[in-house]
Amino acid sequence: MARPSPYPAELRERAVRMVAEIRPNYPTEWAAMKAVVAKLVIGAAETVRTWVHKAEVDGGQRPGVTSEEAAEIKRLRAENAELRRANEITASRPNENERWVADFTYVATWSSIVYVAFVVDVFSRAVVGWSASTSKRAKLVLDALDIALWRRDRAGTAAGPS
């Protein structure tokens, strides 16, 4: 993930506009960029060059991937990766109640800390057992597991490996 720019969007837009406006007064575009950097107190001329080129691509004056297209590609890649992960999970466990994961955490309340354990069915992503306690002992997680086993047994599914 790219880090956020330390420069506000207004400053970037102003710098790009200034380069376009003062470019005829300088022998090269790079010289105009350096002048803008000095006037606006920006770290480096390379930063302004990047902004100018990005603005030209977004404006259709230069070939390349626009900001909007890049954001769409990033979104689609993330969606694609999530779908691949979901497909791997689905392929590796065809049935409900075959794979569970457990976790516990704490919740700060006005009077103390409460520890909560959860057992989640990986297939359905449903919480199948849970337990809460004021101490984080093994019994906390074992109680959550007992509830999950009880619910599975009550539903008519054998509690144990097939």
Residue 104 lies in a domain: yes
Q: Which of 87, 117, 122 is nearest to 101 (CA)?
A: 122
User: What's residue 5's pLDDT?
Assistant: 78
Query: For 85-119, what is each residue's pLDDT tens digit?
Result: 878 766 665 577 778 899 999 999 999 999 999 99
Residue 14 lies in a domain: yes
User: What's residue 86's pLDDT?
Assistant: 78
Residue 17 lies in a domain: yes
Where helices occur in the chain by DSSP H, the ranges are: 9-22, 29-40, 45-58, 67-92, 138-154
Whether the pTM exceeds 0.85: the reply is: no
- Tokens 């976790």 identify what position? 103
Residue 128 lies in a domain: yes
User: What's residue 3's pLDDT?
Assistant: 74
CATH number for the domain spanning 14: value is: 1.10.10.10
Residue 73 lies in a domain: no
User: What's residue 89's pLDDT?
Assistant: 65
Query: For 8-41, what is each residue's pLDDT tens digit?
Result: 889 999 999 999 999 999 999 999 999 999 999 8
Cβ atoms 133, 127 nearer than 8 A = no
Q: Which of 140, 153, 157, 152 is nearest to 102 (CA)?
A: 140
User: What's residue 157's pLDDT?
Assistant: 62
Instruction: Among 28-32, 46-50, 117-121, 157-161, name the one with the lowest average pLDDT.
Output: 157-161
Look at the chain and report how many structural domains it folds into: 2
Average pLDDT, the chain: 87
Residue 77 lies in a domain: no
User: What's residue 91's pLDDT?
Assistant: 66
68-76 mean pLDDT: 94
Distance CA 73, CA 63 (A): 17
Where is pLDDT greater, at 124 or 47? Answer: 47
Residue 84 lies in a domain: no
Cβ atoms 101, 149 nearer than 8 A = no
Residue 89 lies in a domain: no
Domain that holds residue 107: 100-154
DSSP string for residues in 41-63:
T-S-HHHHHHHHHHHHHHTTSS-
Q: How confident is the model at residue 74 (pLDDT cuts 50, 70, 90)?
A: very high
User: What's residue 90's pLDDT?
Assistant: 64
pLDDT higher than threshold 70 for residue 2: no
37-48 mean pLDDT: 91
